[in-house]
Homo-oligomer: A and B are copies of this chain.
Amino acid sequence: MDPKEFCIRGKQMVDYIVDYRESLDKHRKVFPEVKPGYLRPLLPDAAPEEAESFEDVMSDMERVIMPGASCPAATELEIVMLDWLGKALQLPVEFLSGSGGGGGGVIQRTASDATLMSMLSARHKTLTKLGREQPNQVDGKHLSKLVAYMSDQAHSSVERAAIIEAVRVRKLPSDEKFSMRGVELEKAIKQDKENGLIPFYLCATLGTTSSCAFDNILELGPICQREGIWMHIDAAYAGSAFICPEFRPLLNGVEVRIGQVDKLLLEHHSWNFADSFDFNAHKWMGATFDCSPMWVKSRKDIVNSLKVEPPYLKHIHSESDIITDYRHWQISLGRKFSSLKLWFVLRLFGIKKMQELILSDVAMAREFEEFVRKDERFEVTNEVKLGLVCFALKGSNELNRHLLEAVNREGKIHITPTELRSKYTLRFVICWGNTRESVRFAWEYISSKATALLSSPSE
Protein backbone atom coordinates (compact mmCIF):
# COMPACT_ATOMS: atom_id res chain seq x y z
CA MET A 1 0.00 0.00 0.00
CA ASP A 2 1.55 3.27 -1.08
CA PRO A 3 1.30 6.42 1.05
CA LYS A 4 -1.52 7.82 -1.04
CA GLU A 5 -3.66 4.74 -0.65
CA PHE A 6 -2.77 4.45 3.04
CA CYS A 7 -4.05 8.00 3.46
CA ILE A 8 -7.40 7.17 1.85
CA ARG A 9 -7.83 3.80 3.56
CA GLY A 10 -6.73 5.11 6.95
CA LYS A 11 -9.37 7.82 6.81
CA GLN A 12 -12.00 5.34 5.72
CA MET A 13 -11.13 3.30 8.79
CA VAL A 14 -11.58 6.33 11.05
CA ASP A 15 -15.05 6.84 9.56
CA TYR A 16 -15.74 3.14 10.00
CA ILE A 17 -14.89 3.31 13.70
CA VAL A 18 -17.12 6.33 14.23
CA ASP A 19 -20.00 4.74 12.31
CA TYR A 20 -19.58 1.55 14.30
CA ARG A 21 -19.66 3.35 17.63
CA GLU A 22 -22.69 5.42 16.63
CA SER A 23 -24.63 2.40 15.39
CA LEU A 24 -24.03 0.42 18.58
CA ASP A 25 -27.27 1.39 20.27
CA LYS A 26 -29.36 1.05 17.17
CA HIS A 27 -28.14 -1.86 15.13
CA ARG A 28 -25.71 -3.97 17.08
CA LYS A 29 -26.49 -6.60 19.64
CA VAL A 30 -24.31 -6.82 22.73
CA PHE A 31 -23.91 -10.53 22.16
CA PRO A 32 -23.92 -12.25 18.81
CA GLU A 33 -26.48 -14.81 17.72
CA VAL A 34 -24.03 -17.00 15.82
CA LYS A 35 -23.20 -20.54 16.83
CA PRO A 36 -19.65 -21.77 17.48
CA GLY A 37 -18.02 -22.69 14.20
CA TYR A 38 -20.07 -20.18 12.18
CA LEU A 39 -17.07 -18.44 10.64
CA ARG A 40 -15.02 -21.06 8.84
CA PRO A 41 -17.66 -21.87 6.17
CA LEU A 42 -17.83 -18.16 5.28
CA LEU A 43 -14.20 -18.02 4.17
CA PRO A 44 -12.06 -19.79 1.57
CA ASP A 45 -9.83 -22.65 2.72
CA ALA A 46 -6.58 -20.82 2.04
CA ALA A 47 -5.08 -17.35 1.71
CA PRO A 48 -5.48 -15.82 -1.76
CA GLU A 49 -2.63 -16.12 -4.24
CA GLU A 50 -3.32 -12.69 -5.71
CA ALA A 51 -3.91 -9.45 -3.80
CA GLU A 52 -7.51 -8.57 -3.01
CA SER A 53 -8.98 -5.10 -2.92
CA PHE A 54 -9.46 -3.14 0.27
CA GLU A 55 -13.17 -2.88 -0.57
CA ASP A 56 -13.49 -6.66 -0.68
CA VAL A 57 -11.83 -7.08 2.70
CA MET A 58 -13.97 -4.38 4.26
CA SER A 59 -17.17 -5.79 2.85
CA ASP A 60 -16.19 -9.11 4.40
CA MET A 61 -15.86 -7.29 7.72
CA GLU A 62 -19.60 -6.83 7.68
CA ARG A 63 -20.34 -10.26 6.23
CA VAL A 64 -17.93 -12.37 8.27
CA ILE A 65 -16.72 -10.52 11.38
CA MET A 66 -19.53 -8.26 12.54
CA PRO A 67 -22.17 -10.98 12.97
CA GLY A 68 -19.76 -12.64 15.40
CA ALA A 69 -18.75 -9.32 17.02
CA SER A 70 -15.55 -9.84 19.09
CA CYS A 71 -16.66 -13.18 20.50
CA PRO A 72 -16.57 -15.72 18.94
CA ALA A 73 -15.30 -13.91 15.82
CA ALA A 74 -11.87 -13.12 17.29
CA THR A 75 -11.27 -16.75 18.21
CA GLU A 76 -12.72 -18.22 15.05
CA LEU A 77 -10.89 -15.86 12.71
CA GLU A 78 -7.67 -16.70 14.53
CA ILE A 79 -8.24 -20.41 14.04
CA VAL A 80 -8.86 -19.96 10.32
CA MET A 81 -6.04 -17.44 9.77
CA LEU A 82 -3.56 -19.79 11.47
CA ASP A 83 -4.71 -22.54 9.13
CA TRP A 84 -4.28 -20.20 6.13
CA LEU A 85 -0.83 -19.26 7.30
CA GLY A 86 0.14 -22.82 8.18
CA LYS A 87 -0.77 -23.92 4.68
CA ALA A 88 1.14 -21.01 3.15
CA LEU A 89 4.24 -22.12 5.07
CA GLN A 90 3.57 -25.76 4.15
CA LEU A 91 3.47 -26.81 7.78
CA PRO A 92 2.63 -30.47 8.36
CA VAL A 93 -1.09 -31.03 8.31
CA GLU A 94 -1.06 -32.15 11.97
CA PHE A 95 -0.50 -28.53 12.99
CA LEU A 96 -3.66 -27.33 11.28
CA SER A 97 -6.83 -27.04 13.28
CA GLY A 98 -8.97 -27.87 10.27
CA SER A 99 -7.30 -31.24 9.95
CA GLY A 100 -9.18 -32.49 12.98
CA GLY A 101 -6.07 -34.20 14.27
CA GLY A 102 -5.89 -32.43 17.60
CA GLY A 103 -3.42 -29.72 16.59
CA GLY A 104 -3.95 -26.03 16.05
CA GLY A 105 -2.55 -22.54 16.02
CA VAL A 106 -2.69 -19.53 18.31
CA ILE A 107 -1.29 -16.02 18.09
CA GLN A 108 1.17 -15.43 20.90
CA ARG A 109 2.45 -11.93 21.54
CA THR A 110 6.11 -12.68 20.95
CA ALA A 111 8.36 -15.64 20.29
CA SER A 112 9.42 -15.46 23.96
CA ASP A 113 5.85 -16.20 24.98
CA ALA A 114 5.73 -19.13 22.57
CA THR A 115 8.96 -20.54 23.96
CA LEU A 116 7.64 -20.20 27.51
CA MET A 117 4.35 -21.88 26.63
CA SER A 118 5.96 -24.72 24.69
CA MET A 119 8.38 -25.45 27.52
CA LEU A 120 5.52 -25.36 29.99
CA SER A 121 3.54 -27.81 27.88
CA ALA A 122 6.55 -30.09 27.68
CA ARG A 123 7.14 -29.88 31.42
CA HIS A 124 3.53 -30.72 32.15
CA LYS A 125 3.45 -33.57 29.67
CA THR A 126 6.64 -35.11 31.02
CA LEU A 127 5.71 -34.76 34.68
CA THR A 128 2.31 -36.25 34.00
CA LYS A 129 3.87 -39.16 32.18
CA LEU A 130 6.33 -39.73 35.03
CA GLY A 131 3.67 -40.59 37.52
CA ARG A 132 0.76 -38.20 37.31
CA GLU A 133 2.71 -35.62 39.20
CA GLN A 134 0.88 -32.29 39.23
CA PRO A 135 2.99 -29.40 37.95
CA ASN A 136 2.23 -27.47 41.10
CA GLN A 137 3.44 -30.20 43.43
CA VAL A 138 7.01 -29.11 43.37
CA ASP A 139 8.07 -31.38 46.16
CA GLY A 140 7.77 -34.17 43.63
CA LYS A 141 10.97 -35.94 42.82
CA HIS A 142 10.94 -35.34 39.05
CA LEU A 143 10.88 -31.57 38.48
CA SER A 144 14.41 -31.01 39.70
CA LYS A 145 15.71 -33.61 37.25
CA LEU A 146 14.22 -32.16 34.11
CA VAL A 147 16.69 -30.77 31.61
CA ALA A 148 15.97 -28.63 28.54
CA TYR A 149 18.35 -28.21 25.60
CA MET A 150 19.20 -25.22 23.48
CA SER A 151 22.14 -24.37 21.28
CA ASP A 152 24.74 -21.83 22.33
CA GLN A 153 23.24 -19.69 19.54
CA ALA A 154 19.61 -19.89 20.69
CA HIS A 155 17.71 -16.82 21.75
CA SER A 156 17.96 -15.60 25.34
CA SER A 157 14.23 -16.29 25.76
CA VAL A 158 14.95 -20.03 26.06
CA GLU A 159 17.19 -19.44 29.04
CA ARG A 160 14.64 -17.04 30.48
CA ALA A 161 11.81 -19.57 30.06
CA ALA A 162 13.91 -22.15 31.92
CA ILE A 163 14.56 -19.67 34.74
CA ILE A 164 10.85 -18.87 35.04
CA GLU A 165 9.81 -22.51 34.93
CA ALA A 166 12.54 -23.62 37.31
CA VAL A 167 14.09 -26.26 35.07
CA ARG A 168 17.69 -26.84 34.11
CA VAL A 169 18.80 -25.76 30.68
CA ARG A 170 21.89 -26.98 28.91
CA LYS A 171 23.51 -25.12 26.04
CA LEU A 172 24.87 -27.41 23.35
CA PRO A 173 27.88 -26.23 21.35
CA SER A 174 26.95 -25.45 17.75
CA ASP A 175 29.09 -26.54 14.81
CA GLU A 176 31.31 -24.35 12.64
CA LYS A 177 28.24 -23.00 10.86
CA PHE A 178 26.58 -22.22 14.20
CA SER A 179 24.14 -25.07 13.73
CA MET A 180 23.08 -27.42 16.53
CA ARG A 181 23.79 -31.00 15.48
CA GLY A 182 22.55 -34.41 16.46
CA VAL A 183 25.89 -35.68 17.72
CA GLU A 184 26.06 -33.02 20.43
CA LEU A 185 22.50 -33.74 21.48
CA GLU A 186 23.22 -37.48 21.71
CA LYS A 187 26.28 -36.78 23.82
CA ALA A 188 24.37 -34.51 26.21
CA ILE A 189 21.44 -36.89 26.57
CA LYS A 190 23.73 -39.80 27.35
CA GLN A 191 25.65 -37.84 29.95
CA ASP A 192 22.54 -36.32 31.55
CA LYS A 193 20.76 -39.65 31.76
CA GLU A 194 23.80 -41.20 33.38
CA ASN A 195 23.58 -38.44 35.96
CA GLY A 196 19.95 -39.25 36.64
CA LEU A 197 18.50 -36.30 34.76
CA ILE A 198 15.43 -36.37 32.52
CA PRO A 199 15.74 -34.69 29.11
CA PHE A 200 12.30 -33.27 28.23
CA TYR A 201 12.56 -30.30 25.86
CA LEU A 202 14.65 -29.00 23.00
CA CYS A 203 14.37 -25.60 21.37
CA ALA A 204 15.69 -25.76 17.82
CA THR A 205 16.26 -22.45 16.10
CA LEU A 206 15.74 -21.85 12.42
CA GLY A 207 17.43 -18.54 11.73
CA THR A 208 19.41 -17.66 14.86
CA THR A 209 19.54 -14.06 16.01
CA SER A 210 23.29 -13.68 15.79
CA SER A 211 23.97 -15.16 12.37
CA CYS A 212 20.72 -16.60 10.92
CA ALA A 213 22.02 -20.14 11.31
CA PHE A 214 19.77 -23.18 11.09
CA ASP A 215 19.80 -26.02 13.57
CA ASN A 216 19.82 -29.43 11.93
CA ILE A 217 16.36 -30.65 12.76
CA LEU A 218 16.73 -33.57 10.37
CA GLU A 219 19.27 -34.94 12.85
CA LEU A 220 17.71 -33.56 16.04
CA GLY A 221 14.12 -34.57 15.32
CA PRO A 222 14.53 -38.35 15.31
CA ILE A 223 16.56 -38.22 18.51
CA CYS A 224 13.88 -36.16 20.24
CA GLN A 225 11.22 -38.54 19.06
CA ARG A 226 13.13 -41.58 20.33
CA GLU A 227 13.74 -39.96 23.72
CA GLY A 228 10.29 -38.45 24.19
CA ILE A 229 11.73 -34.94 24.09
CA TRP A 230 9.41 -32.10 23.05
CA MET A 231 10.94 -30.33 20.05
CA HIS A 232 9.97 -26.68 19.73
CA ILE A 233 11.02 -24.79 16.63
CA ASP A 234 11.78 -21.12 17.12
CA ALA A 235 11.75 -19.60 13.65
CA ALA A 236 11.07 -16.09 14.93
CA TYR A 237 12.87 -14.37 12.09
CA ALA A 238 13.18 -17.01 9.37
CA GLY A 239 9.63 -18.33 9.55
CA SER A 240 8.22 -15.74 7.16
CA ALA A 241 10.62 -16.90 4.45
CA PHE A 242 9.13 -20.38 4.40
CA ILE A 243 6.25 -18.90 2.42
CA CYS A 244 8.67 -19.09 -0.55
CA PRO A 245 9.11 -22.61 -1.98
CA GLU A 246 12.75 -21.65 -2.58
CA PHE A 247 13.40 -21.40 1.15
CA ARG A 248 11.07 -24.09 2.37
CA PRO A 249 13.87 -26.71 2.44
CA LEU A 250 15.76 -24.56 4.96
CA LEU A 251 13.08 -25.57 7.33
CA ASN A 252 14.68 -28.96 7.38
CA GLY A 253 17.79 -27.53 8.88
CA VAL A 254 19.99 -28.29 5.93
CA GLU A 255 20.15 -26.74 2.54
CA VAL A 256 18.73 -29.30 0.20
CA ARG A 257 18.63 -29.17 -3.54
CA ILE A 258 15.66 -30.80 -5.23
CA GLY A 259 16.45 -34.43 -5.84
CA GLN A 260 19.24 -34.53 -3.30
CA VAL A 261 17.03 -35.69 -0.49
CA ASP A 262 13.96 -37.78 -0.89
CA LYS A 263 10.92 -35.55 -1.06
CA LEU A 264 9.01 -37.86 1.24
CA LEU A 265 11.63 -37.40 3.91
CA LEU A 266 11.27 -33.64 3.72
CA GLU A 267 7.52 -33.63 3.75
CA HIS A 268 6.80 -36.29 6.26
CA HIS A 269 9.75 -36.67 8.54
CA SER A 270 11.84 -33.74 9.62
CA TRP A 271 8.90 -31.44 10.14
CA ASN A 272 6.75 -33.91 11.85
CA PHE A 273 9.25 -34.35 14.62
CA ALA A 274 8.33 -30.89 15.88
CA ASP A 275 5.77 -30.60 18.64
CA SER A 276 5.45 -26.86 18.28
CA PHE A 277 6.53 -24.10 15.90
CA ASP A 278 6.53 -20.33 16.17
CA PHE A 279 7.54 -17.32 14.13
CA ASN A 280 7.05 -13.56 14.36
CA ALA A 281 4.71 -12.26 11.69
CA HIS A 282 5.68 -8.80 12.96
CA LYS A 283 9.28 -9.33 11.85
CA TRP A 284 9.15 -10.01 8.12
CA MET A 285 5.52 -10.43 7.15
CA GLY A 286 4.18 -6.90 7.46
CA ALA A 287 2.06 -7.36 10.58
CA THR A 288 2.59 -4.71 13.24
CA PHE A 289 4.09 -5.69 16.58
CA ASP A 290 2.98 -7.89 18.28
CA CYS A 291 1.86 -10.94 16.31
CA SER A 292 3.65 -14.25 16.84
CA PRO A 293 1.79 -17.22 15.32
CA MET A 294 2.44 -20.53 17.06
CA TRP A 295 1.26 -24.03 16.24
CA VAL A 296 1.14 -27.13 18.37
CA LYS A 297 0.63 -30.70 17.33
CA SER A 298 -1.43 -31.55 20.39
CA ARG A 299 -3.63 -28.79 21.73
CA LYS A 300 -4.37 -30.89 24.77
CA ASP A 301 -0.76 -30.61 25.89
CA ILE A 302 -0.78 -26.82 25.86
CA VAL A 303 -4.26 -26.42 27.31
CA ASN A 304 -3.77 -28.84 30.18
CA SER A 305 -0.56 -27.21 31.29
CA LEU A 306 -2.26 -24.01 32.40
CA LYS A 307 -5.94 -24.70 32.81
CA VAL A 308 -7.49 -22.95 35.80
CA GLU A 309 -11.21 -22.29 35.66
CA PRO A 310 -12.60 -19.73 38.10
CA PRO A 311 -16.38 -19.42 38.39
CA TYR A 312 -16.53 -15.94 36.82
CA LEU A 313 -15.10 -17.38 33.60
CA LYS A 314 -17.40 -20.35 33.29
CA HIS A 315 -19.42 -20.37 30.13
CA ILE A 316 -21.31 -22.88 28.05
CA HIS A 317 -18.63 -23.19 25.42
CA SER A 318 -15.56 -24.39 27.34
CA GLU A 319 -12.39 -25.61 25.65
CA SER A 320 -13.09 -29.03 24.21
CA ASP A 321 -12.49 -31.02 21.07
CA ILE A 322 -14.88 -28.68 19.29
CA ILE A 323 -14.41 -25.36 21.07
CA THR A 324 -11.16 -23.43 21.30
CA ASP A 325 -10.76 -21.27 24.40
CA TYR A 326 -7.51 -19.45 23.78
CA ARG A 327 -7.09 -18.20 27.34
CA HIS A 328 -5.76 -21.65 28.17
CA TRP A 329 -3.14 -21.36 25.42
CA GLN A 330 -1.28 -18.35 26.78
CA ILE A 331 0.08 -16.56 29.83
CA SER A 332 -2.38 -13.69 29.99
CA LEU A 333 -6.13 -13.95 30.25
CA GLY A 334 -7.00 -10.99 28.02
CA ARG A 335 -6.45 -11.14 24.29
CA LYS A 336 -6.42 -8.82 21.33
CA PHE A 337 -8.05 -9.31 17.93
CA SER A 338 -4.60 -9.89 16.40
CA SER A 339 -5.90 -12.23 13.71
CA LEU A 340 -7.25 -9.14 11.93
CA LYS A 341 -3.63 -8.21 11.23
CA LEU A 342 -3.08 -11.49 9.41
CA TRP A 343 -6.44 -11.22 7.68
CA PHE A 344 -5.58 -7.80 6.24
CA VAL A 345 -1.96 -8.61 5.42
CA LEU A 346 -2.61 -11.97 3.75
CA ARG A 347 -5.50 -10.64 1.67
CA LEU A 348 -4.17 -7.22 0.71
CA PHE A 349 -0.81 -8.68 -0.35
CA GLY A 350 -1.74 -12.16 -1.46
CA ILE A 351 0.74 -15.02 -1.24
CA LYS A 352 2.53 -14.22 -4.51
CA LYS A 353 3.31 -10.64 -3.56
CA MET A 354 4.62 -11.70 -0.15
CA GLN A 355 6.86 -14.26 -1.80
CA GLU A 356 8.16 -11.58 -4.18
CA LEU A 357 8.92 -9.20 -1.33
CA ILE A 358 10.88 -11.80 0.59
CA LEU A 359 12.77 -13.01 -2.49
CA SER A 360 13.65 -9.43 -3.30
CA ASP A 361 14.90 -8.81 0.26
CA VAL A 362 17.08 -11.92 0.12
CA ALA A 363 18.43 -10.87 -3.27
CA MET A 364 19.45 -7.55 -1.72
CA ALA A 365 21.21 -9.33 1.11
CA ARG A 366 23.08 -11.45 -1.45
CA GLU A 367 24.06 -8.27 -3.25
CA PHE A 368 25.42 -6.80 -0.04
CA GLU A 369 27.26 -10.06 0.59
CA GLU A 370 28.88 -9.71 -2.84
CA PHE A 371 30.01 -6.18 -2.02
CA VAL A 372 31.70 -7.47 1.11
CA ARG A 373 33.30 -10.46 -0.61
CA LYS A 374 34.74 -8.28 -3.37
CA ASP A 375 36.47 -6.05 -0.82
CA GLU A 376 39.59 -7.82 0.36
CA ARG A 377 39.73 -5.86 3.61
CA PHE A 378 36.52 -7.59 4.75
CA GLU A 379 35.25 -11.08 5.40
CA VAL A 380 31.74 -12.52 5.54
CA THR A 381 31.34 -14.34 8.85
CA ASN A 382 28.07 -16.20 8.37
CA GLU A 383 26.52 -18.29 5.66
CA VAL A 384 24.05 -15.87 4.09
CA LYS A 385 20.77 -17.68 3.65
CA LEU A 386 18.14 -15.01 4.13
CA GLY A 387 18.33 -11.29 4.89
CA LEU A 388 21.20 -11.17 7.39
CA VAL A 389 24.83 -10.63 6.41
CA CYS A 390 27.42 -10.91 9.18
CA PHE A 391 30.73 -9.34 8.27
CA ALA A 392 33.87 -7.86 9.74
CA LEU A 393 37.11 -6.20 8.79
CA LYS A 394 39.93 -8.73 8.75
CA GLY A 395 41.63 -7.73 11.96
CA SER A 396 41.05 -7.31 15.64
CA ASN A 397 37.76 -7.05 17.52
CA GLU A 398 38.91 -3.63 18.61
CA LEU A 399 39.21 -2.52 15.00
CA ASN A 400 35.70 -3.70 14.23
CA ARG A 401 34.33 -2.06 17.33
CA HIS A 402 35.76 1.20 16.05
CA LEU A 403 34.21 0.58 12.65
CA LEU A 404 30.78 0.05 14.19
CA GLU A 405 31.09 3.26 16.17
CA ALA A 406 32.15 5.18 13.09
CA VAL A 407 29.31 3.77 11.01
CA ASN A 408 26.62 4.50 13.59
CA ARG A 409 27.98 7.87 14.72
CA GLU A 410 26.18 10.16 12.29
CA GLY A 411 22.83 8.37 12.35
CA LYS A 412 22.74 7.80 8.60
CA ILE A 413 22.57 4.04 8.93
CA HIS A 414 22.50 1.84 12.00
CA ILE A 415 23.96 -1.63 12.34
CA THR A 416 24.20 -3.85 15.40
CA PRO A 417 27.07 -6.08 16.49
CA THR A 418 27.28 -9.61 17.80
CA GLU A 419 29.96 -12.09 18.73
CA LEU A 420 30.49 -15.27 16.73
CA ARG A 421 32.97 -17.58 18.49
CA SER A 422 34.24 -14.47 20.29
CA LYS A 423 34.79 -12.75 16.95
CA TYR A 424 33.23 -9.30 17.09
CA THR A 425 30.99 -9.06 14.05
CA LEU A 426 28.78 -6.50 12.38
CA ARG A 427 25.25 -7.44 11.34
CA PHE A 428 23.66 -5.99 8.24
CA VAL A 429 20.01 -6.88 7.91
CA ILE A 430 17.51 -6.18 5.17
CA CYS A 431 14.12 -5.04 6.42
CA TRP A 432 10.84 -4.13 4.78
CA GLY A 433 11.30 -0.91 2.85
CA ASN A 434 14.94 -1.37 1.93
CA THR A 435 15.84 -0.69 -1.71
CA ARG A 436 18.83 -1.63 -3.85
CA GLU A 437 19.84 2.01 -3.66
CA SER A 438 19.75 2.06 0.13
CA VAL A 439 21.80 -1.15 0.26
CA ARG A 440 24.41 0.28 -2.12
CA PHE A 441 24.46 3.51 -0.12
CA ALA A 442 24.96 1.57 3.10
CA TRP A 443 27.84 -0.45 1.68
CA GLU A 444 29.58 2.60 0.26
CA TYR A 445 29.13 4.39 3.57
CA ILE A 446 30.56 1.46 5.53
CA SER A 447 33.39 1.10 3.06
CA SER A 448 34.32 4.78 3.32
CA LYS A 449 34.33 4.57 7.12
CA ALA A 450 36.62 1.55 6.88
CA THR A 451 38.98 3.46 4.58
CA ALA A 452 39.11 6.40 6.97
CA LEU A 453 39.64 4.10 9.92
CA LEU A 454 42.40 2.05 8.31
CA SER A 455 44.28 5.13 7.16
CA SER A 456 44.12 6.91 10.51
CA PRO A 457 47.43 7.05 12.39
CA SER A 458 46.09 5.30 15.49
CA GLU A 459 45.29 2.05 13.65
Interface residues in A274-290 (C-beta closer than 8 Å to B): 282, 289-290
Residues of B within 8 A of A427 (CB): 312
A143 touches B166 (CB 8 A): yes
Residues of B within 8 A of A110 (CB): 332-334
Residues of B within 8 A of A146 (CB): 138
Tell me if A7 counts as interface (CB < 8 A to partner B). Answer: yes
A336 touches B289 (CB 8 A): yes
B11 touches A14 (CB 8 A): yes
On chain A, the number of residues with a Cβ less than 8 Å from chain B's Cβ atoms is 74
The answer, among B7, B282, B331, for a CB contact under 8 Å with A331, is B331
Give the interface segment out of A97-105, A372-380, A415-423: A415-423
Residues of B within 8 A of A109 (CB): 109, 332
- Chain B residue with the shortest CB-CB distance to A438: B25
The answer, among B6, B14, B135, B210, for a CB contact under 8 Å with A166, is B135
Task: Report the separation of the CA atoms of residues A363 and B21 in the bound assembly, to the nearest whole angstrom.
Answer: 24
Tell me if A306 counts as interface (CB < 8 A to partner B). Answer: yes
B417 touches A312 (CB 8 A): yes
Interface residues in A226-248 (C-beta closer than 8 Å to B): none
Tell me if A398 counts as interface (CB < 8 A to partner B). Answer: no
Tell me if A264 counts as interface (CB < 8 A to partner B). Answer: no
A134 to chain B, nearest CB (A): 9
B166 touches A138 (CB 8 A): yes
Residues of B within 8 A of A112 (CB): 331-334
A197 to chain B, nearest CB (A): 9
What are the nearest 9 A-B pairs in CB distance? A29-B411, A10-B14, A311-B419, A166-B166, A110-B332, A312-B418, A156-B308, A30-B414, A112-B332
Tell me if A42 counts as interface (CB < 8 A to partner B). Answer: no
17 more CB-based (< 8 A) A-B contacts, given A10-B17, A312-B416? A3-B18, A3-B22, A6-B18, A10-B14, A29-B411, A109-B332, A116-B331, A120-B164, A135-B166, A136-B167, A138-B146, A139-B145, A160-B306, A164-B164, A289-B334, A290-B332, A290-B336
Residues of B within 8 A of A419 (CB): 311
Residues of B within 8 A of A333 (CB): 110, 112, 155-157
Tell me if A83 counts as interface (CB < 8 A to partner B). Answer: no
A386 to chain B, nearest CB (A): 16
Residues of B within 8 A of A11 (CB): 10-11, 14
Tell me if A162 counts as interface (CB < 8 A to partner B). Answer: yes
A437 to chain B, nearest CB (A): 10
Tell me if A187 counts as interface (CB < 8 A to partner B). Answer: no
Tell me if A259 counts as interface (CB < 8 A to partner B). Answer: no
A133-164 interface mask toward B, CB cutoff 8 Å, 1 = contact, 0 = none?
Answer: 00111110001111000000001110110111
Task: Report the separation of the CA atoms of residues A18 and B137 in the bound assembly, to the nearest whole angstrom.
Answer: 54
A308 touches B31 (CB 8 A): no
Can you list 18 residue pairs at the A/B interface with Cβ under 8 Å?
Answer: A10-B18, A29-B412, A31-B411, A109-B332, A110-B334, A113-B331, A135-B163, A138-B146, A138-B168, A157-B333, A163-B306, A164-B331, A209-B310, A289-B334, A290-B332, A311-B418, A314-B417, A331-B331
Given A113-B332, A312-B416, A418-B311, are A143 and B136 also a contact pair (CB < 8 Å)?
no
